[in-house]
C-alpha cells in the first residue's frame, strides 16, 4: 500500500452524473460527500456544465473537500484560458482544486466542439507546453499549479509522470493498476476510479454491473487484452468482475484495498445506479462505513 503523500485522502467519490442535477442538487451532493468524510470529489467534463464553473460551485458548497476536475477536456478551452482559470481557483481556494486534463474523444472534439482531433499524446504535450508558458492569471499564483493527466495507455501514463503530478485512471482492473504504477514510477500520484454497483449481494447487482462493463469496454479493449482478457467483446463474468466491483459494501471495500495494495495512492468510487438524476447518498454512506475515508 502506498505511503506517498498526496492531499486527496485515501478514498474519494467520482460523481459521474452531476450534470443530471440542478445547481442546488450539485451543492447538496458535494456537501454530503464532505460530511461523510471522503477526501476528494471528482467529476468529468463532456457535454454538460463547463468544468471550471462546476468546480467553483463545488468548492463554494464545501469547506475543506478537495475538488478534482478529473477529465477536463483540452479541446474545451485554450491553454491560456485553462491556466488562468486554474490559477484563479487556486488563489481563491488554496490547495483544494486539482485539474485533471483529458485528451477527449474524436466525436466530442470534432462533432461537438468543431476542432480537429489530434494524436492524443502529441496534442497533450503541446497543450502542456502552452499551459506552462501562459502569461495570465492572478498575481502571486504559481505558474504551474498541481495537475494530473487522465490516462489509460502506457504512453499517456509516461507523459503524466514526466509533465504532471501524476495520473488519474478510470475503469480499469486491479491488474492494470500494477502496470500503471510501474510506468509512472514510485513518486508520481496514481488516482484510480473504480466502477461500482452496490446491491444486496452479487446476484442482485450482476445485470447492472454487466451494463456498466459494456459501456466501459470500447476504449479499453486492447489494454484488457494485454492483461490477459483475450476476448473482451465476449464480456464474460471474469471480465465484468474485473471492471466493476459489485455486490455488498464489503465486496467493494475489498476491491478498493486491492487497488491500494497494487500501487494506487487514492481510489475514487464511481457508483453506477439506475437513477442517475438522484445522487446515491445512502450508498455513499454505506460504503463510508466500510472504508478508511
The grid coordinates of residue 15 equal 460523481
C-alpha closest to that of 171 among 259, 105, 108: 259
Decide if pLDDT at 36 tops 80: yes
Q: How far apart are CA 293 and CA 278, in angstroms?
A: 22
Dihedral sign, Cα of residue 145, residue 17, residue 37, residue 30: positive
pLDDT range class, residue 16, cuts 50, 70, 90: confident
Q: How far apart are CA 43 and CA 35, in angstroms?
A: 18
**234 in a structural domain:** yes
pLDDT range class, residue 1, cuts 50, 70, 90: low
Range of the domain at 155: 11-288
Mean pLDDT confidence for 19-48: 95
Spell out the residues 6+ positions from residue 41 whose beta carbon is closer than 8 angstroms to its own. Answer: 12, 13, 15, 30, 33, 34, 58, 62, 65, 66, 67, 68
Q: Count of domains in the chain?
A: 1
pLDDT range class, residue 146, cuts 50, 70, 90: confident
Dihedral sign, Cα of residue 265, residue 6, residue 193, residue 219: negative
Q: Is 239 left (phi over 0), alpha (psi -120 to 50) or beta?
A: alpha
Mean pLDDT confidence for 145-150: 91
Q: Which range among 2-6, 138-142, 149-153, 181-185 shows the weakest confidence by mean pLDDT?
A: 2-6
Decide if pLDDT at 3 tops 60: no
Is 271 exposed, middle or buried, given 0-12, 13-18 or 19+ CB atoms closer than 10 A? Answer: buried
C-alpha closest to that of 133 among 98, 82, 70: 82
Dihedral of CA atoms 54, 57, 62, 66 in degrees, nearest 10, equals 30
Decide if pLDDT at 58 tops 60: yes
pLDDT range class, residue 2, cuts 50, 70, 90: low
**2 in a structural domain:** no
DSSP β-bridge partners for residue 195: 244, 270
Mean pLDDT of the chain: 94
Q: Are 147 and 161 in contact (CB under 8 A)?
A: no
**275 in a structural domain:** yes
pLDDT range class, residue 73, cuts 50, 70, 90: very high
Q: Are 192 and 143 in contact (CB under 8 A)?
A: no
**6 in a structural domain:** no
**5 in a structural domain:** no
Mean pLDDT confidence for 167-177: 98
**152 in a structural domain:** yes
Q: Are 121 and 152 in contact (CB under 8 A)?
A: no
Q: Residue 244 in 3-state DSSP?
A: strand
Most confident of 5-9, 18-22, 89-93, 194-198: 194-198
**165 in a structural domain:** yes
**293 in a structural domain:** no
Decide if pLDDT at 280 tops 90: yes
What pLDDT does residue 144 have? Answer: 66
- Please name the residue ranges forming H helices in the chain: 23-35, 51-60, 79-92, 106, 120-132, 154-163, 174-184, 202-216, 221-226, 237-243, 249-261, 281-288
What is the value of pTM for the model shown? 0.95
Using a pLDDT cut of 70, give the percent of the chain over it: 97
Spell out the residues 6+ positions from residue 287 whose beta carbon is closer than 8 angstroms to its own. Answer: 196, 198, 249, 252, 253, 269, 271
What pLDDT does residue 136 have? Answer: 76
Q: How far apart are CA 42 and CA 68, in angstroms?
A: 5
* CATH label of the domain that carries residue 242: 3.20.20.30
C-alpha closest to that of 150 among 46, 232, 251: 46
pLDDT tens across 78-137, in order?
999 999 999 999 999 999 999 999 999 999 999 999 999 999 999 999 999 999 999 877
What pLDDT does residue 166 have? Answer: 97
Amino acid at each position: 500500500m502506498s505511503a506517498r503523500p498526496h492531499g486527496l485522502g485515501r478514498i474519494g467519490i467520482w460523481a459521474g452524473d452531476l450534470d443530471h442535477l440542478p445547481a442546488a442538487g450539485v451543492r447538496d451532493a458535494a456537501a454530503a460527500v464532505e460530511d461523510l468524510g471522503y477526501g476528494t470529489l471528482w467529476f468529468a467534463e463532456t457535454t454538460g456544465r463547463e468544468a471550471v464553473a462546476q468546480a467553483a460551485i463545488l468548492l463554494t458548497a464545501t469547506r475543506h473537500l478537495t475538488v478534482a476536475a478529473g477529465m477536463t477536456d483540452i479541446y474545451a478551452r485554450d491553454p491560456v484560458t485553462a491556466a488562468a482559470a486554474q490559477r484563479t481557483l487556486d488563489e481563491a481556494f488554496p490547495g483544494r482544486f486539482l485539474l485533471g486534463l483529458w485528451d477527449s474523444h474524436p466525436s466530442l472534439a470534432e462533432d461537438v466542439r468543431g476542432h480537429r482531433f489530434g494524436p492524443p499524446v502529441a496534442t497533450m504535450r503541446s497543450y502542456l507546453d502552452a499551459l506552462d508558458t501562459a502569461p495570465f492569471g492572478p498575481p502571486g499564483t504559481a505558474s504551474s499549479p498541481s495537475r494530473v493527466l487522465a490516462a489509460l495507455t502506457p504512453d499517456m501514463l509516461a507523459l503524466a509522470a514526466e509533465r504532471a503530478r501524476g495520473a488519474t485512471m478510470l475503469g480499469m482492473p486491479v491488474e492494470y493498476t500494477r502496470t500503471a504504477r510501474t510506468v509512472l514510477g514510485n513518486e508520481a500520484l496514481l488516482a484510480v476510479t473504480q466502477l461500482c454497483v452496490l446491491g444486496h449481494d452479487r446476484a442482485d447487482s450482476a445485470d447492472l454491473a454487466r451494463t456498466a462493463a459494456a459501456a466501459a469496454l470500447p476504449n479499453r479493449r486492447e489494454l484488457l487484452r494485454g492483461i490477459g482478457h483475450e476476448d473482451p467483446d465476449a464480456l464474460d463474468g471474469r471480465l465484468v468482475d474485473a471492471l466493476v466491483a459489485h455486490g455488498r459494501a464489503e465486496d467493494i471495500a475489498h476491491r478498493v484495498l486491492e487497488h491500494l495494495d497494487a500501487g494506487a495512492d487514492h481510489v475514487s468510487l464511481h457508483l453506477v445506479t439506475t437513477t442517475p438524476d438522484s445522487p446515491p447518498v445512502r450508498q455513499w454512506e454505506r460504503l463510508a462505513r466500510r472504508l478508511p475515508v
